[in-house]
Amino acid sequence: MENKIGKLIELVKKLPEACLDDTIDYIEEKLEEYTEKKPILPCPHCKSKTVKRFGHVANHQRYRCKDCGKTFMETTNTIMAHSHCGEAAWKQVIRDTVEGLPLDTTANSLVMSHSTIFNMRHKILLALEAEEVREPTVLNGVCELDDTYVLESYKGSKLPEGFWREARKHGAVAQKRGISNEYLCISTGVQRDGAAYSRTVTRATPGKNDIVTVFAGHIGKESLILCDGAKSYNALGESCGCPVLNVDGEKGFAHVNTANSFHSLIKDRYNQYRGVATKYLNRYNALFSKAFRNGENLVDRIYNILCSNDVPRHHSVQDVKALNLLDI
């Protein structure tokens, strides 16, 4: 999809110096018109709609609630809180994240630093992960459950001294054959005509406790679980009270092709990112789950979720570095 901000930057670079002042004045005028026309949002603290404009802070409109007396900004509680970037820039970062573009590609197109785009991307991923915790995905009806595996990665950091293996280059393969502890297991579930869910809790082949940990609270009571030969999934029959059908070698209705399609999306995005650091994997799992079979208007829908001020959705740079890291 066209990067409109990048196109605008390229056009401005071609302008003669004499036109820059007029261009800046025009953009500032349009920005002011846009701000004045936007409807006033309810108070994020008490949800009251009796709100009035209350001056500006750093050239941003501030509001004051007549009921609770608290002040707030349009971005309070949203992903854009304390950010210097507006809607267009955040949507571009969301779009590039969904499409699997490298961080440097986004950074170059928006004329921002690598670290700024990294923090923006992970604030988005953290907010999506928190949204999954707040409103868990529940798979109903015919549900296909299966595992896929990705190679562990310490991308972006140095291996500790005395680590059990040497550092790998991008595209390298595991030292051991088959599914070993060099691989992270992504347990996935897909509703045949609906949502998808994925999470990582272990390395190599998951056991019964791992499967129950992943899918507890995510399988509806009236569901039929289809799995591909792994006996560990039988534990869900007891924990969720649903029938479990092993479809290994079966044909017709009994298959896990939809789950395999989800695996293809995960592997495709994983390769486009040139690997994902293991500690961040569950953040990306939240994105993979949201992106599967939801390509149309996905960027707008993610943006609208993350810019709703009904609950806090902002994360700090410190959260990016330390919150919900996968340690297995």
Q: What is the pLDDT of residues 271-306, one digit of tens each?
A: 888 888 999 999 999 999 999 988 778 999 999 989
Residue 287 near residue 99, CB atoms below 8 Å: no
Beta bridge pairs of residue 143: 191, 225
Whether residue 146 is predicted with pLDDT greater than 60 in this model: the reply is: yes
Nearest to 101, CA basis, from 112, 124, 117, 115: 117
Q: How far is CA 210 from CA 201, 214, 232, 308, in A?
A: 7, 6, 9, 34
pLDDT one-digit tens code per residue, 191-250: 998 899 999 999 989 999 999 999 999 999 889 999 887 788 888 888 888 888 888 766
d(CA 102, CA 121): 11
To which H or E segment does residue 130 belong? Answer: helix 114-134
CB neighbours of 106 closer than 8 A, spacing ≥ 6? 92, 93, 96, 112, 117, 121
Q: What is the pLDDT of residue 130?
A: 93
d(CA 297, CA 314): 22
Which of the residue ranges 73-82, 129-138, 207-216 would you say has the lowest mean pLDDT? Answer: 73-82
> What value does the mean pLDDT take over residues 144-157?
89
Whether residue 44 is predicted with pLDDT greater than 90 in this model: the reply is: no
CATH architecture under which domain 137-282 falls: 2-Layer Sandwich (3.30)
The pLDDT confidence band at residue 62, using thresholds 50, 70 and 90, is confident
Look at the chain and count its residues: 328
d(CA 140, CA 223): 5
Number of neighbours of residue 208 by Cβ within 10 angstroms: 16
Which pair of structure tokens corresponds to residue 188? Answer: 């996935």
> What value does the mean pLDDT take over residues 100-121?
93
DSSP string over 100-111: T--HHHHHHHHT
Task: Report the mean per-residue pLDDT for the chain.
Answer: 87
> What value does the mean pLDDT take over residues 101-118?
92
Residue position matching structure tokens 């404009």: 53
59 torsion bin: left (phi>0), alpha (psi -120 to 50), beta (else): left
CB neighbours of 235 closer than 8 A, spacing ≥ 6? 208, 209, 211, 212
Q: What is the pLDDT of residue 11?
A: 86
Whether residue 1 is predicted with pLDDT greater than 60 in this model: the reply is: no
Indicate the pairing of strand 224-227 with strand 142-151.
parallel
Which of the residue ranges 88-92, 249-253, 273-277 would you say has the lowest mean pLDDT? Answer: 249-253
* One-letter amino acid of 61: Q
d(CA 32, CA 143): 50
DSSP string over 239-252: HH---EEE-TT--T
Query: Domain ranges in the chain?
Result: 1-29, 137-282
Residue 66 C-beta-side C-alpha neighbours within 13 Å: 5
Question: Which of the given ranges, 5-9, 24-28, 102-106, 233-237, has the highest pLDDT on average?
Answer: 102-106
d(CA 289, CA 285): 6
d(CA 300, CA 53): 27
> What value does the mean pLDDT take over residues 42-60?
84
pTM of structure: 0.86
